[in-house]
Structure 1
Amino acid sequence: MAIVWRRVFIVVGLVALCFLGIPIRIDDNELQKRELFRGFLQRFNKTYEGNETEYMKHYNNFKVLEYVRFNSCMST
Structure 2
Amino acid sequence: MGHPDYHRRRFATWSRTLLVVPLVAVLFGEYLYGTRVDYPDRFWGAVVVIAFFGAWAALAAAWHYSILRGVDAGP
Interval of TM-score (by shorter of Structure 1 and Structure 2)? 0.3 to 0.5
Q: Which has the larger radius of gyration?
A: 1
User: What's the TM-score once normalised by structure 2's chain length?
Assistant: 0.42
- Structure with greater helix percent: 2
Higher relative contact order (CA 8 A, sep 6+): 2
User: What's the TM-score once normalised by structure 1's chain length?
Assistant: 0.41
